[in-house]
Amino acid sequence: MTTGAASTRPQPPEPIGIVVAHADDGERATLARWLRADGRFNVLGEVADPEATVAAVLDLLPDVAFVDLALTAGPGGEVADGVAAIAAIRQEAPAVRNVAVTREDDDQAYAALAAGAMACYLWADPDPDPGATAADMAAGAARGEGALTPGWARRILDEVRWLSRDPGLVPAPELSPTEQEVLRRIASGATPAAIAQLHGVTVHLVNVHAGAAITKVWRYHDDARQLAQLRQQ
C-alpha cells in the first residue's frame, strides 16, 4: 500500500462543528451526547426532519453532518428524506462532510453514498464502544477520510465492474490498485485497523484511500445526473 502526501493531510481545527439530524428523539440525543463527551466536537444543532437538516447545515456550516436516512418530510416539505438531504447538502455546501446514519447496510445506504455521504454509521452494528466509533468517524470525515461498510465496498466494486464492461457516455470511475485492495478487503469483512496492520501503515492512510474511492463514485454520479438533466431539457 502506497504512502505519500495523502497520509499527511492537515488536521481540521478543533472543535469540529457538527449538526446531528435524526428522526428518533432518543437516538438523536444519544448521538449528540456521545459527540459532546468526546471533547473534539461542538454540536451546533440537532434537527429531526430533512428540510430542517438542509436549512441548519446551510445556516451553521458545520464541518460534519450526521444525517439519519430514516428522516421523512413533513407536510409541504421539499426535501423528501435523508438521502435527499445529503444530496442537497453536497450541492449547496460541498465543504460539509456527510455521515449517513442507518440501521441496514443496504441499497438505501449506498444511495446515500452516491448522493454525497463520506461515511456510514450503522446504528444497529454490534459495537463495544459505539460513542467512540461515532466520534472517530466524525473526526475522520472532517479530515476527508472515508468510512466504508462492507456493503458500500461491495457495491462500489460491483458498480465499477459493471460500468467498465458496458461503458456509457460517462466514464466509469478509475480506481487505483490500492483503492481496489482496500475495497476488496473491507468487502470481505476486514477492518481498516486490520488492513493497516497487514501493510504496516496507519488506519488514517487506509481511510484516505477509502475516501478517494468514494469521491470518485461521487464524481461519476454527479456527471451522470448532469447528463440526464441535459437530456431532459
Domains and CATH numbers, the chain: 5-148 (3.40.50.2300), 151-232 (1.10.10)
Instruction: Say what the pLDDT of residue 5 is.
Output: 40
Tell whether the model's pLDDT for residue 6 goes beyond 60. Answer: no
Between helix 203-232 and helix 107-115 the angle, nearest 10°, is 80
Instruction: Say what the pLDDT of residue 7 is.
Output: 43
Tell whether the model's pLDDT for residue 77 goes beyond 90. Answer: no
Q: What is the pLDDT of residues 159-208, one digit of tens each?
A: 999 999 987 888 999 999 999 999 999 999 999 999 999 999 999 999 99
Q: Provide, rounded to the nearest whole percent, the portion of the chain with pLDDT above 70.
A: 94
Give CA–CA dist 220/171, Å, rounded: 7
Instruction: Say what the pLDDT of residue 128 is.
Output: 82
Instruction: Say what the pLDDT of residue 44 is.
Output: 98
Give CA–CA dist 173/213, Å, rounded: 8
Q: Average pLDDT over the chain, rounded to whole?
A: 92
Tell whether the model's pLDDT for residue 75 goes beyond 90. Answer: no
Give CA–CA dist 45/1, Å, rounded: 39
Tell whether the model's pLDDT for residue 96 goes beyond 90. Answer: yes
**Is 19 buried (19+), middle (13-18) or exposed (0-12) by CB count in 10 A?**
buried
Average pLDDT over residues 37-54: 96
Tell whether the model's pLDDT for residue 41 goes beyond 90. Answer: yes
